[in-house]
């Protein structure tokens, strides 16, 4: 029992030291409490690869042309607001549009983009690796400038 406990503690400690040594960011990612095969939470890697966006008109396509490709870095497509100027009562929505290799393009349901400082929101869950997509952002006021990040 003590040997298993020491091995588990060593796994957790070595994972934490590896993250510190590689500069994985401020999000603490450590092996799971169960110790199952040294699993590491994907949050630091997923959000660490986020792309920036800035919206100054009522509609914005991200990226402005072409598509992004989902990868194993994130299981989902996530969005957050990091900056905002102008009226605060503006409704802000995002729609993910997919271009699958197996069929016609389609767009998901509109999801409300989180307010400044309220963290990440999942726009699409369990997106298959290799799926091509883009995001369309909508807001209701021409006098608003909003910026944020998209992690996928």
Opening angle at CA 76, ends 107 and 44, nearest 5: 145
Place of tokens 């003590």: 2
Encoding tokens for residue 73?
Answer: 């870095």
The answer to whether 137 and 63 have CB atoms below 8 angstroms apart is no
Cis upstream peptide for 113 (omega within 30°): no
Percent of the chain with pLDDT over 90: 39
Give me the pLDDT at residue 142, please: 75
The answer to whether 131 and 76 have CB atoms below 8 angstroms apart is no
Q: Where are the domains of the chain?
A: 2-38, 50-151
Examine the pLDDT at 6 and tell me if it is beyond 50. Answer: no
* Residue 85 CB-half CA count within 13 A: 5
Fold topology of 50-151: Jelly Rolls (2.60.120)
What does the pLDDT average to over 101-118? 88
Local structure of residue 87 (DSSP, 8 states)? -
Examine the pLDDT at 43 and tell me if it is beyond 70. Answer: no
For the CA atoms of 57, 114, 19, 13, what is the dihedral angle to 10 degrees?
180
- Least Cα distance to 141 among 82, 88, 81 occurs for 88
């Amino acid at each position: 029992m003590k040997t298993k406990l020491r091995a588990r503690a060593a796994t957790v400690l070595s994972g934490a030291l590896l993250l510190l040594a590689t500069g994985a960011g401020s999000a603490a990612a450590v092996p799971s409490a169960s110790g199952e095969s040294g699993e590491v939470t994907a949050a630091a890697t997923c959000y660490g690869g986020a792309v920036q966006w800035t919206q100054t008109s009522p509609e914005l396509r991200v990226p402005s042309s072409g598509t992004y490709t989902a990868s194993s870095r994130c299981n989902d497509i996530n969005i957050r607001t990091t900056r905002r100027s102008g009226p605060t009562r503006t409704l802000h929505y995002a729609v993910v549009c997919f271009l699958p290799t197996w069929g016609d393009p389609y767009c998901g349901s509109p999801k409300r983009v989180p307010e400044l400082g309220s963290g990440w929101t999942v726009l699409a869950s369990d997106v298959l690796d290799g799926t091509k997509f883009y995001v369309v952002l909508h807001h209701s006021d021409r006098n608003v400038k909003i910026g944020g990040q998209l992690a996928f």
